[in-house]
Amino acid sequence: MNTIGSWQNHAISLGLPPNTPVKKQIDEFIRRWDNFPVTPERRANPAWAENTVDGDDINLFDILPLFRLNDGDGGFYLDKACVVSRDPLDKDNFGKQNVGIYRMEVKGKRKLGLQPVPMHDIALHLHKAEERGEDLPIAITFGNDPIITLMGATPLKYDQSEYEMAGALRESPYPIATAPLTGFDVPWGSEVILEGVIEGRKREIEGPFGEFTGHYSGGRNMTVVRIDKVSYSQQTDF
């Protein structure tokens, strides 16, 4: 939690000393932004591939340290996980593969509720999939380094890659690996990967949830995620 919740953490994510003045951080961020795009580095043998659980054997309550973030939340929420999705009409376009951060409630052993805001890329991907009568494959990544978490919360253009921008900001190619079920590109250095689908045209109540502004947003009909594969490192550190 709060991976980039302070200017000290923001500085560390950019590889700067934690006491770097805010103005210098902003100036450095702008300078590095102009390095975009930096092609990512594909690596083999990620630590998260050490263990796998499939199908009905999955129990997220056993695998993840789930807890209630706020007293009045409707359930356990996944905090700061990155979600990877692809444009189902242009699956081979690397730039249209999106990395985003969304509100996700654990609703069962292998079931999540996910809130895609209509203007977000994942909502556009889902709309295209549902128009074709299809589910939308996704990969959810945990234990990410701060720079990709920052990129997941940054609004880029639809065909701009978060991985290529992460490389620009870290001033070196961002390491990625191939998720075994979806084939999506996920962070090589993550610790846990969940793969599954947003089930097409299926909605259930998700929420309420305590927002960062200090109020609760209510329950709404949101998308339903089915998890089909979990990969995780033996040394996962929560």
Give the 3-state secondary structure of the chain. Answer: CCCCCCHHHHHHHCCCCCCCCHHHHHHHHHHHHCCCCCCCEECCCCHHHCEEEEHHHCCHHHHCCCCCCCCCCCCEEECCCEEEEECCCCCCCHHHEEEECCEEEEEECCEEEEECCCCCHHHHHHHHHHHCCCCEEEEEEECCCHHHHHHHCCCCCCCCCHHHHHHHHHCCCCEEEECCCCCCEEECCCCEEEEEEEEEEEEEEECCEECCCCCEECCEEEEEEEEEEEEECCCCCC
Give the model's pLDDT for residue 2: 66
Give the model's pLDDT for residue 5: 80
* CA distance linking residue 155 with residue 153, whole number of Å: 7
Report the DSSP beta bridge partners of residue 108. 111
**pLDDT tens, the chain, 238 aa long:** 567 789 999 999 999 999 999 999 999 999 999 999 999 999 999 999 999 999 999 999 999 989 898 889 899 999 889 999 999 999 999 999 999 999 999 999 999 999 998 999 999 999 999 999 999 999 999 999 999 999 999 999 999 999 999 999 999 999 999 999 999 999 999 999 999 999 999 999 999 999 888 899 989 999 999 999 999 998 887 6
* CA distance linking residue 42 with residue 34, whole number of Å: 23
Residue holding tokens 């890329």? 121
* CA distance linking residue 127 with residue 110, whole number of Å: 23
Report the DSSP beta bridge partners of residue 230. 53, 194
Note down the domain range covering 93: 35-232
Residues 184-197: pLDDT tens digits? 999 999 999 999 99
Is position 211 annotated as part of the catalytic site?
Answer: yes
Q: Is residue 6 part of a domain?
A: no
Give the model's pLDDT for residue 1: 55
Q: Is residue 96 part of a domain?
A: yes
Report the DSSP beta bridge partners of residue 51. 232
* CA distance linking residue 114 with residue 203, whole number of Å: 10
Q: Is residue 214 part of a domain?
A: yes
Q: Is residue 174 part of a domain?
A: yes
Please identify which of the residues 191, 199, 206, 211 carries the catalytic annotation: 211
Q: Is residue 12 part of a domain?
A: no
* CA distance linking residue 191 with residue 170, whole number of Å: 20
Give the model's pLDDT for residue 238: 63
Q: Please check whether residue 188 is in contact with residue 175, taking contact to mean a CB–CB distance below 8 angstroms.
A: yes
* CA distance linking residue 189 with residue 142, whole number of Å: 10
Instruction: Report how many domains make up the chain.
Output: 1
Report the DSSP beta bridge partners of residue 105. 77, 113
Domain of residue 141, CATH code:
2.30.110.10
Q: Is residue 112 part of a domain?
A: yes
Q: Is residue 162 part of a domain?
A: yes
Predicted model pTM: 0.95
